[in-house]
Amino acid sequence: MSAKSKGISAERELIHRFWQTNTWTACRVAGSGSMKYPSPDILAQSESRQLAIECKACKDDNQYFDAEEIEQLKQFATIAGCEAWVAVRFSREDWRFLPLEKIPTTKTNYVVSRVFAREQGLQFDSLAQTKHL
């Protein structure tokens, strides 16, 4: 399975999780990251919240995000009036969600480690049950 296929599969898995709550809708934004307009991987919405989510599934202990990727997510969320989140799933672990302001930076990237995600990231149920952050 190609890296692109794995990413799409991970995004779809997360979309199903939102729909299974019966209080959230979610959809995948096809072509996110490959067009000139900023767009997240997933848009999710409940009665009281709208989320723009950049998703990554990885097998390493660190997941890096390009500064441009995060900047586009911020720009989209600002224009759309929604919350910007990063969702990371490390191998054999569940999804963790981090607001952009919590993500550590290096000189050129943003990085989320497996340990940081466990300690600082919200689990899916916590994110989905919160009224507004």
Which residues does 107 contact at the CB level (< 8 Å), separation at least 6?
none
Instruction: Tell me how far apart the alpha carbons of residues 35 and 37 are, in angstroms, rounded to a whole number.
Output: 6
* 39 classed as catalytic: no
Choosing from 32, 39, 46, 48, the catalytic residue is 32
CB 87 within 8 A of CB 97: yes
Query: Strand 62-66 to strand 42-45: parallel, antiparallel, or no bridges (unpaired)?
Result: unpaired
What residues act catalytically? 32
